[in-house]
Amino acid sequence: MRVKRYLKLFWAFFRFSFEAETEFRSNLIFWSFENILWMILGITSIHLIFGQVEAIAGWSKNEVFLVLFVASLFHDLCWTLIFRNLEAFSRLIRKGELDNALLKPVNTRFLLSFKILEFDHYVRIALELFLIYKYIILTTGYFSFTNVLAALFLFICGFLIFYSIFFALTVTNIWFINLANLIDFFHTVKDLGGKPIDIFKIKRGFLYFFSFVLPVGYIATFPTEALMGEIEVSKIVLAPVLAILSLWASQKLFNFALKYYSSASS
């Protein structure tokens, strides 16, 4: 029943956000078109790079395209679901409006994370799903539901890991109040994850760091390996462990930080 309640609440957020976005249809169309242009620029850059080389860290052109589209899907889902909410957190702290969220009869973290949804990424998400399917066929020559399920599992775990990291960083606004450029940091992390992490093999410490400490491999590289049927079992086993630890640690930090929050009525 609790899960059903939160699904209904999420659906209410979805409807409210959709109605708010479609009040200004020209704005929605413009940003949807702009997002498509960014994808075209990403595709063009890879074509330019592979005009000079045959492979990047052992990854062929089609494989790198697959990484790009999985990373783009991660980016668009982050913007659709959580980034606008995380951006708003600093304002809530500065204006003392966090009180309203804390007093609501609902999980505060859920409310703060998913209240506002964006809709100008949906066209690109649909295109990315099509291109992922196309490049699975181009890369492997077949389509395996088992590989897709393994990739989806890794992708969800990666999303939970980085949602937790982003949420934890956002929570530090309680102490630092007006942290700037957090979204820029999130984009930097996403950009790191948008490349095959084998490029970091030149420094073994870097490869270990980006595989397990700040595991950007779970953004796109490991899901892509799963799509190609080349994923190591250890990466699949580690994924839920990292996801659960990240969720737990970020919640502990949130609970601790709330003790230092000075409400509007203080």
Q: What is the pLDDT of residues 53-107, one digit of tens each?
A: 778 878 888 999 999 999 999 988 988 888 888 888 877 887 777 888 888 888 8
Report how far residue 23's alpha carbon sits from residue 253's, in angstroms, rounded to the nearest whole number.
Answer: 37
- As a whole number, mean pLDDT of residues 222-245 equals 93
Asked if residue 213 is part of any domain, the answer here is: yes
Instruction: Count Cβ atoms below 10 Å from residue 199 Cβ, excluding itself.
Output: 16
Residue identified by tokens 């708003």 is: 88
Tell me: pLDDT of 40 over 90: no
Could you tell me the residue range of the domain that residue 80 belongs to? 2-258
Asked if residue 245 is part of any domain, the answer here is: yes
> 217 by DSSP, 3-state: which?
helix
Least confident of 7-16, 119-128, 177-186, 240-249: 177-186
Report how far residue 135's alpha carbon sits from residue 113's, in angstroms, rounded to the nearest whole number.
Answer: 32
- As a whole number, mean pLDDT of residues 223-232 equals 93
What's the domain count of the chain?
A: 1
198 or 23, greater pLDDT: 198
Q: What is the pLDDT of residue 160?
A: 95
Q: Is-contact 265 103, C-beta < 8 A?
A: no
pLDDT tens digits for range 136-189: 999 998 889 999 999 999 999 999 999 999 899 888 888 876 666 677 777 788
Report how far residue 255's alpha carbon sits from residue 242's, in angstroms, rounded to the nearest whole number.
Answer: 20
Mean pLDDT over the full length of the chain: 85
Asked if residue 265 is part of any domain, the answer here is: no
Asked if residue 174 is part of any domain, the answer here is: yes
Report how far residue 76's alpha carbon sits from residue 187's, in angstroms, rounded to the nearest whole number.
Answer: 11
Asked if residue 266 is part of any domain, the answer here is: no
> pLDDT class for 204, splitting at 50, 70, 90?
low
> pLDDT class for 263, splitting at 50, 70, 90?
low
**CB within 8 Å of 177: residues ≥ 6 apart:** 90, 93, 94
Which CA distances in Å does 136 have to 65, 142, 207?
A: 10, 7, 25
Burial class (CB in 10 A: 0-12, 13-18, 19+), 92: middle
Asked if residue 65 is part of any domain, the answer here is: yes
Q: What is the DSSP letter of 121?
A: T
Alpha helices in the chain (DSSP H): 2-22, 25-49, 61-78, 84-94, 98-103, 108-114, 122-140, 145-171, 173-176, 182-193, 204-208, 221-227, 233-258
**pTM for the model:** 0.88
Q: What is the pLDDT of residue 91?
A: 79
